């Protein structure tokens, strides 16, 4: 197995607007990589490039030595979009069953997997409810459950914990940690600084440029800050 399952070297433009400018990143198995940056900095575009929905204007994304988009590789990835992509007129169970059969979860394992992921996001009680009756946080959790359903090797999560209360957020991060130990690569975008502290490595993006990469400690040391938040502001050119 490759030590760097994901290698990205990308520039993305929409017309004349440059969204991502020469981003070079490699990700390892068994790490949680946190992508930080103000809104509009290009985090979501980067995630979409990595999961193969978007393609780079220049450069490539290689996952498991395959150039993206590649359908076989895509089945080994779990993607959670920033906006909940759910069929609200269906029940949670029907949503899960649909995505499970799309990503080829075996019929015999399906029921068990659905129970597992729903337990993880604390929604087992609400399996047969229609998604339109769900709250924002519940929808977020269901989206996460769907991303985890087929035991992906790579998880791409775009702001997975927005609208989720702190105690459940802790539990979800414990899950990420457990998956990381199993060798899963997890990429999250986040705005929450205590989540950033729990990442193995961080990447700071600003106006489409990667301005810093390193462990949380490295980033703090380099900027002589005591918190990630301060470091972030320092890199952004805002002095406190």
Partner 1 sequence: MRVYAVVIRILRQFIHDKRTMALMIVAPILVLTMLSFVFNGEDLKLKIGVVNVPNAVIEKIEGNDVTVTKIEATEDIKGVIKEKDYDAIMDFNNEERKLYLEGSDPSINKAVVERIKGSIGSESAETKMVILYTYGSSDMTTFDYFGPVLVGFFIFFFVFLIAGVSFLRERTQGTLERLLASPIKRWELVTGYVIGFGLFTMLQSAIIALYSIYIIDLKMEGSFFYVLLVTLMLALSALTLGILLSAFAKNELQMIQFIPLVVVPQLFFSGLFNLDTVSDYLSWIGPLTPLYYGADALRDVMIRGQGISEIWADLLVLIGFSFVFIILNVFALKKHRRI
Contact predicate 27/17, CB 8 Å: no
Residue 207 binds to partner 1 (criterion: CB under 8 A):
no
Nearer to partner 1, 4 or 98 (CB): 98
What track of x and - describes contact with partner 1 for positions 62 through 81 (by CB under 8 A)?
Answer: -------xxxx-xx-x-x-x
Contact predicate 19/13, CB 8 Å: yes
| Of 32, 56, 62, 84, the one binding partner 1 by CB under 8 A | 84
What track of x and - describes contact with partner 1 for positions 127 through 166 (by CB under 8 A)?
Answer: ---x------------------------------------
Contact predicate 46/190, CB 8 Å: no
The two tokens of residue 227 are: 């918190």
Residue 237 binds to partner 1 (criterion: CB under 8 A):
no
Nearer to partner 1, 14 or 87 (CB): 87
Residue position matching structure tokens 């390193």: 214
Indicate if the alpha-carbon torsion angle 168, 166, 140, 179 is positive or negative: negative
Least separation in angstroms between CB 53 and partner 1 = 5
Nearer to partner 1, 86 or 219 (CB): 86
> Closest by alpha carbon to 188, among 85, 62, 44?
44
Residue 99 binds to partner 1 (criterion: CB under 8 A):
yes
Cα 191–193–199 angle (5° rounding)?
Answer: 95
Nearer to partner 1, 76 or 171 (CB): 76
| Of 15, 17, 39, 104, the one binding partner 1 by CB under 8 A | 104
Which spans in 21-165 are helix H? 43-51, 71-74, 92-102, 107-120, 136-148
Residue 229 binds to partner 1 (criterion: CB under 8 A):
no
Least separation in angstroms between CB 139 and partner 1 = 11
Indicate if the alpha-carbon torsion angle 61, 63, 67, 69 is positive or negative: negative
Q: Contact positions toward partner 1, by CB under 8 A?
A: 48, 51-53, 55, 69-72, 74-75, 77, 79, 81, 83-90, 94, 97-99, 101-104, 130
């Amino acid at each position: 197995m490759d030590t760097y399952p994901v290698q990205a070297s990308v520039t993305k433009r929409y017309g004349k607007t440059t969204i991502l400018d020469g981003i070079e990143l490699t990700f390892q198995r068994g790490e949680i990589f946190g992508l930080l940056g103000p809104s509009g900095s290009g985090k979501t575009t980067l995630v979409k490039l990595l999961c193969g929905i978007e393609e780079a204007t220049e450069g490539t994304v290689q996952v498991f030595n395959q150039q993206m988009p590649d359908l076989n590789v895509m089945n080994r990835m779990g993607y959670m979009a920033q906006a909940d992509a759910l069929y609200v007129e269906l029940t949670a169970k029907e949503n899960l069953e649909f995505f499970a059969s799309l990503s080829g979860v075996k019929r015999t394992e399906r029921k068990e997997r659905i129970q597992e992921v729903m337990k993880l996001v604390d929604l087992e009680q609400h399996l047969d409810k229609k998604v339109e009756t769900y709250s924002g946080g519940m929808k977020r959790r269901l989206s996460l459950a769907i991303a985890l359903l087929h035991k992906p090797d790579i998880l791409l999560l775009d702001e997975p914990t927005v609208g989720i209360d702190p105690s459940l957020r802790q539990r979800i991060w414990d899950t990420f940690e457990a998956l990381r130990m199993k060798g899963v690569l997890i990429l999250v975008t986040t705005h929450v600084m205590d989540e950033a502290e729990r990442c193995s490595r961080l990447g700071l993006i600003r106006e489409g440029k990667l301005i810093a990469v390193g462990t949380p400690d490295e980033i703090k040391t380099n900027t002589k800050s005591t918190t990630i938040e301060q470091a972030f502001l320092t890199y952004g050119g805002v002095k406190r």
